Copies of this chain bind each other. A is one copy, B any other.
């Protein structure tokens, strides 16, 4: 049995081999194997059987050249290696991307850009060489320069949580409900002064989470506590903690924009002798594994990065399959609240 793409004599099995053995023309064999109309069911079955028996696998480069499709999707990650290393979000997301792509015969081409100029170059190369059929734009920013770039390059794409003027199909997974649930949880515990450690301006995540933090408090008749603008990282959390330590009146609870940030915040406070949740309740956002390792365990809202990756690829391939129709955007459920020991009643 030759299931490895080699025929008995070691030569690659070609479509012409399949056609010859099945007693049909090459064009018919092609149509039969690619589910194209114009072949009788009888012929199709026969061709399939021969192909199967021979272990035929079409040459990708030949397919690509003649069909002008790459059968691959691109994923350009813009991040330094160090940050990438510490960011566990990435693993589950990429797993979703890869599996959804593989399920439809596409490969994932991963690129890493460490600065803006390099990111631009990567997209240009992907477009110029036709290495991929489309790209995934993740962590969309509010006006996002990549959108114009990618569109100008003629690349197909799908974005995540992009604004309404984004020309690409979009997958959205709103973090608003998650933040609302966290804030409501803190209010229910008795907190009245709830601060927020936010991300850098420009990011959808930053604005959305900040807005919902504020509006949820307003809905409960509470004024927003102090706001610390920082970043999504561990270090940013530590800095915010330093700021918190310098406050005259300290909030009794803080909602952090990410788990990593929350962990930095917590550990810095603990180093300064602050007890959690005794003196302050801390909540994060994402649901990374590390949140279960710290003491106390981190209350958070767990998203579904894997399903996000799957949804983005599926949407991209769908839109590629029907270039005329405009595929509907996808809305993913937010995730779910995970209560751990880092949040508790205020000291009073």
Q: Kindly state whether residue A247 has any CB partner on chain B within 8 Å.
A: no
A122 to B107, CA, bound (A): 10
The answer to whether A127 touches B65 (Cβ under 8 A) is no
Report if A289-B86 is in contact (Cβ < 8 Å); known contacts: A109-B107, A109-B109, A153-B4. yes
The answer to whether A129 touches B91 (Cβ under 8 A) is no
Report if A85-B88 is in contact (Cβ < 8 Å); known contacts: A130-B59, A263-B293, A264-B293. yes
Determine which residue in A85, A263, A295 has the highest number of CB atoms from chain B within 10 A of its CB, and name it.
A85
Q: How far is the CB of A271 from chain B (nearest CB, A)?
A: 7
How many copies make up the complex?
Answer: 2
Q: Kindly state whether residue A94 has any CB partner on chain B within 8 Å.
A: yes
A152 to B6, CA, bound (A): 11
Q: Kindly state whether residue A82 has any CB partner on chain B within 8 Å.
A: yes
Q: Kindly state whether residue A124 has any CB partner on chain B within 8 Å.
A: yes
The answer to whether A112 touches B95 (Cβ under 8 A) is yes
A222 to B91, CA, bound (A): 41
Task: Choose one: B85, B92, B263; the contact of A288 (CB below 8 Å).
Answer: B85
Residues of B within 8 A of A234 (CB): 289, 293
Cβ proximity bits A257-289 to B, threshold 8 Å, 1 near / 0 not: 000000110010011000000000000000011
Residues of B within 8 A of A94 (CB): 84, 110, 112
The answer to whether A110 touches B112 (Cβ under 8 A) is no
Report if A92-B85 is in contact (Cβ < 8 Å); known contacts: A64-B61, A107-B111. yes
Q: Kindly state whether residue A39 has any CB partner on chain B within 8 Å.
A: no
Q: Kindly state whether residue A102 has any CB partner on chain B within 8 Å.
A: yes
A127 to B12, CA, bound (A): 11
